[in-house]
Every structure is written in C-alpha cells, then in structure tokens.
Amino acid sequence: MSCNESLSGTVVPTIRIADRLRPGRQHPWQRRDALSVRRRLNVICVSVSGREALHMKRSRTIFVARLLLRAIVLSVLGLCGGLGAPDQARAQAFVCDSADAGESGEFASAGGGGSNFACGTNAIASGASSANTSIGLGFNISAGNDSRNLAVGFGVIAGGNGSSNTGVGTETRASGDNSANVAIGGDLPSSGNFTGADAHGDGTRNVAIGSDSRATGFNSTAIGGIASATHANSAAFGHGATTTRADQQVFGTATNTYTAPGITSAASTSAQGPVTGVVTTDADGNLASDGGALQGQVD
C-alpha cells in the first residue's frame, strides 16, 4: 500500500482537495486547510508504513527461526544415526519405520503385521501380533510373536515369544520365551560375541546390569561389571561377583571389605530378637550362625 492510496485501495486526492478550495485565487485559510489535509494524510502513511515494517521484521524473524529449527533437527538426526555433520545425505541414513504403515525403510525394517517399530540404521523389529521396538544402530533386533520386546543401542538383541524382554546398551542380549528379562550395559564391539550385558532364559525374570554382566540362572540377578549369576534364584552384586550355587547371594570378591554402619545402632539392637547364636565364617567367606554353641559354652 503506497502513501497515495487509502485502506480501501482508492487514490487519495491529496492535491486536488486544495484545488477544489480555490476557484481562482487561493486564500490563506484555503492554504491552511490544504496543508492540514496533507499533514493528516502523511501521518496515516507513516502509520501504515510502520506497520508494514513491523510485519516485515516479524516475517524475517520467523524465517530465521525456522532455519535454526531445521538445522537443530538435522543435527539431532545426524547424532542419533552415529554420523558426523548433519548434511542431507547423512540425515536420511536415520530412518524410522512402522509396521502399521506397511512400509520398509532403507535401513530400518518393521514387519510381522503387528505394531512393531524400528528406528535407526539396520534396526529390525518383527513378530506377529506384537509391539516390538528396535531403536539404534548395528543390526538392533527386537523380535517375537505376541511380544513387547525392546532393543535400544548398538547391536542389541531383545527377542522371545510372549515376552517383554528389554535390552539396552552395546551388544547386549535379553531373550527368552514367556519371559521378562532385562539387560542393561555395554562394552567395546567384538567379533560376533556378546560382550555387553546378557540376561536370557525361558520363563524367567532375570536382570543383568553392567558391562559383561551375566544373569542366566532362573530368576537371577547380576549387577556390576563382569558380575555373574548363573544359578537359580542367585544374585551377584559388585564388580566381578560370581555365584557358585543356587539360592546364593554374593557381594563382591575376596579383595573387598564390608561395612554396615547401622549394625551397632540402638535401632538395630531393639529390632533384634533373642540372640540364638553368633555369625561364623569359613575361609571362603560363607556366613552362618553357630546355632547358639558359643552361648551354651558361656552359660
């Protein structure tokens, strides 16, 4: 809109108004009225021009914001894909695919007719009547029929029929039919071997957390780097802790010391019933009660 146009688009007769006021000779009051009309029109034009400038400034701001948002999104996609600079080719290498849409990405694959979801380079999610999820790189696999398995990381496998297994990390494995195993951890990539956490077994609830941790016994738990619980109902806590029999709880290794500050508190004493024996140990650190033998000798 120019300064010679009104808001309705018609031309404002800024000079002809004065011409109408002077049939021949222009009187002083006519000149004052014409000048007043021109000043008012100039004010209107300045106001309109100011609004146009503000609109253009806002438009430029929105345009720059959109460019920044696009750059941020491409950067995030590049990082998620394990790639460097977020250029167009690399951003396209990170592909999300859903089996609901019946599609297959260039690097990701989700199939099986369920609600499976695969996102990332070489991510695979499959299984009939399932909602398996695979997110990450390096042939992440989440598979199984009637399952809700989750694989997140690099080279992770979470599989099993009728299961809800979860694998998170690098080269971790959480697998087994009718199970809910959890493996969280990772290690440097190896030649086809699982060097990350490993929790597997059919019909189990195993948990392995830590680099190269193993929980493979029935309902076992391994927490810590290289911790291993391979026996039924066993648990290993601490780096290198290893079970040797079923129903065993192992804390640390032979080089560890143990501290229980609350054992000497008044609350612990009041919570304790009649003393029936003292705790004994053998050379391997196996704990037991003497069954009151020492107390009997004292009495």
Query: Which one-letter amino acid corresponds to residue 229?
Result: A
Q: Determine the pLDDT at residue 226.
A: 94
Whether 197 has a pLDDT exceeding 70, the answer reads yes
When mean pLDDT is compared over 47-51, 64-68, 275-279, the highest value belongs to 275-279
Confidence of residue 161 (pLDDT cuts 50, 70, 90): very high
Share of the chain above pLDDT 70, in %: 61
Pairing assessment for the beta strands 96-98 and 117-119 based on DSSP bridges: antiparallel
pTM, 2 dp:
0.64
* Nearest-10 Cα torsion for 194, 200, 205, 209: -10
Whether 286 has a pLDDT exceeding 90, the answer reads yes
Q: How large is the average pLDDT for residues 250-275?
A: 93
The residues, ordered by sequence, that sit 6+ positions from 212 with a Cβ below 8 Å of its Cβ are 185, 187, 195, 196, 197, 225, 226
Q: Determine the pLDDT at residue 280.
A: 93
